[in-house]
Structure 1
Amino acid sequence: MSLDSKTNPQATAATDVEAVSRQLAALREDLSRLTETVSGIAGRRSSRMAADIAEGFDEAKHYAASKGRSAEAQLETSVAAHPLMAIGLAAGAGFLVGALSRR
């Protein structure tokens, strides 16, 4: 056998190194695209979650304000209907707070 018929080990190694380098470059490019895709998906999901949370807070705020107005109206009605009892309850609460604060 002559040297020409045998493969040159250095040429084969160089070709293998070039092939591995091309594959690594392709892998880096694929990873870069995958990173961009995942970042985009995460950004859209976080935007949607932030919007949902803000909407939930708005609903809770409106609910609390509505219940507060309702409770205030009921309290005013009760005080108007029973003014002496309201004064007695206020005085009793004042004495209780005063007694607890002295300790």
Structure 2
Amino acid sequence: MAKTTTAAAKEVTIDDLSDQIALLKKDIASLTEALGDYGKAKSEEMRDNARNAANDFADTGRLKAMEVQQQAEEFLKAQPGTALGIAAGIGFLVGLVTARR
């Protein structure tokens, strides 16, 4: 029996090998296409996540800027003299920095 199994294994033809190689090439092409599709899907997902995060940060920044503006307006109404002194001091420092150039 061992001789018939060995003989059968030796009788594999070139056509059989060619068919197997063609099948392997087809499988590799299919796997490559699947990996490419997966990569595209993941990159689109990551792009969408990044865009959503950027929009969230922008919205948070806008809210914080509005809060700061509201606090500044309240400070101006509550202490106009102090606000005027701070503005004059900042203007003086900006003048000194720009005059040196």
TM over 0.5, shorter chain = yes
Partner residue, 1:59: 56
SS of match in other structure, 2:64: helix
Say what the alpha-carbon RMSD is for the aligned residues.
Answer: 1.5
Picking from 47, 66, 69, the partner of 1:69 is 66
> In the TM superposition, what are the counterparts of 1:1-103 in structure 2 within 5 Å?
15-16=13-14, 18-103=15-100
Of structures 1 and 2, the one scoring higher in RCO (CA 8 A, sep 6+) is 2
Unmatched segments (≥5 aa) in structure 1: 1-11
Q: In 1, Cα distance between the equivalents of 2:91 and 2:16?
A: 87
1:80 Cα deviation (Å)? 0.8
TM (norm. structure 2) is 0.79
Q: How many residues align?
A: 89
Q: For 1:6-54, what per-residue CA distance to the aligned partner results, in whole angstroms no more than 9, with x for missing partners?
A: xxxxxx8xx33x3443232112101110011101111211121111111
Residue type of the alignment partner of 1:73: Q
Unmatched segments (≥5 aa) in structure 2: 1-10
TM (norm. structure 1) is 0.77
Identical counterparts, % of pairs: 30
Residue type of the alignment partner of 1:77: E
The runs of 4+ residues in structure 1 deviating greater than 2 Å are 18-24
Residue type of the alignment partner of 1:80: K
Q: For 1:46-75, what per-residue CA distance to the aligned partner results, in whole angstroms no more than 9, with x for missing partners?
A: 121111111111111110111111110000
